[in-house]
């Protein structure tokens, strides 16, 4: 099997060093192989959570691709002398891949998001991409993952759709934990965690302007939009990321290694 041999390590998290086009090519290869796999897209919040949540870490270890979601990760990788090629965020990958799917006839299933978001998202994207085949949408009730009947109902809807790609917008770490548990039984060749992407495309939440994205200030935009929901993530939890990167930089210097390996032995992230 083809493996992703090029990676960068930030705070103990291995991130595949690929461009957007390379990531899409890898997803298409997984579609052709038909063996269910899943993709995760770490941002600063994920990196911090992964330090403290063993189940979340296990889900990441089981992923077939780990893509860089956020400018701060690019900056951290550069500081550590192991530059990443490109930001490949879930919110950018999702609409880009939908355009590819419309051209090539891939069947897509949208799972999660706030009520009505996945359906509205499918309508918006179908209007932009002629021939887009969204073969199903499903917004599970809160707590579905711990309710056997509700979880089985969701999985049945996905299986019966015969989708090629499942986009999952449940938020972290719920979507990654669910993907690790349910990826195989859903029997979809590729499942991808994309966070709030349905809400962005549907217009329920306005995504940060391009300038904010380039400056790595999407977090500030989200905080201003939803301060009560986001303040703890961005102002209490995520500043730990700076300490993690600083500690890694100091260890690298102390070891006398000017740079960490960008490419190593075959990664566990199998494409």
Tens digit of pLDDT per residue, the chain (271 long)?
334 568 999 999 999 999 999 999 999 999 999 999 999 999 999 999 999 999 999 999 999 999 999 999 999 999 999 999 999 999 999 999 999 999 999 999 999 999 999 999 999 999 999 999 999 999 999 999 999 999 999 999 999 999 999 999 999 999 999 999 999 999 999 999 999 999 999 999 888 777 777 777 787 777 788 888 776 777 777 899 999 999 999 998 888 644 444 444 434 454 5
Of 36, 10, 71, 20, give the one whose Cα is nearest residue 249: 10
Strand partners of residue 175: none
What are the tens digits of pLDDT across the range 138-165?
Answer: 999 999 999 999 999 999 999 999 999 9
> What residue ranges do the domains of the chain occupy?
7-254
pLDDT of residue 271: 53
Q: What is the largest CA-CA distance in the chain?
A: 56
pLDDT of residue 5: 62
**CA distances (Å), 253 to each of 81, 137, 244, 247, 262, in order?**
11, 49, 14, 10, 16
Of 202, 199, 237, give the one whose Cα is nearest residue 52: 237
Rounded to two decimals, the pTM is: 0.89
From start to end of 158-245, where are the E strands?
Answer: 165-169, 190-193
* Tokens representing residue 39 in the block: 């993709």
């Amino acid at each position: 099997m083809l493996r992703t041999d090029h990676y960068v390590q930030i705070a103990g998290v291995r991130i595949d060093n690929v461009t957007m086009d390379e990531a899409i090519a890898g997803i298409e290869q997984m579609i052709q192989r038909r063996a269910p796999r899943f993709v995760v897209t770490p941002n600063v919040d994920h990196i911090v959570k992964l330090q403290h949540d063993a189940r979340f870490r296990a889900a990441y270890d089981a992923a077939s691709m780990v893509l860089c979601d956020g400018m701060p990760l690019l900056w951290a990788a550069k500081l550590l002398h192991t530059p990443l090629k490109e930001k490949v965020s879930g919110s950018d990958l999702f609409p880009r891949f939908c355009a590819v799917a419309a051209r090539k006839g891939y069947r897509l299933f949208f799972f999660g998001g706030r009520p009505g978001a996945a359906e509205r998202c499918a309508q918006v994207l179908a209007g932009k991409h002629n021939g887009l085949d969204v073969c199903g949408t499903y917004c599970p009730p809160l707590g579905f993952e711990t309710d056997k009947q509700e979880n089985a109902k969701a999985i049945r809807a996905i299986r019966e759709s015969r989708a090629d790609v499942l986009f999952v917008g449940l938020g972290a770490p719920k979507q990654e934990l669910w993907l690790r548990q349910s990826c195989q039984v859903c029997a979809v060749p590729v499942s991808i965690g994309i966070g709030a992407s349905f809400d962005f495309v549907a217009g329920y939440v306005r995504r940060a302007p391009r300038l904010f994205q380039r400056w790595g200030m999407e977090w500030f935009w989200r905080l201003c939009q939803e301060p009560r929901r986001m303040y703890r993530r961005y102002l209490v939890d995520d500043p730990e990321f700076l300490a993690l990167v600083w500690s890694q930089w100091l260890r690298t210097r102390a070891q006398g290694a000017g740079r960490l390996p960008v490419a190593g032995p075959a990664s566990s992230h199998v494409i």
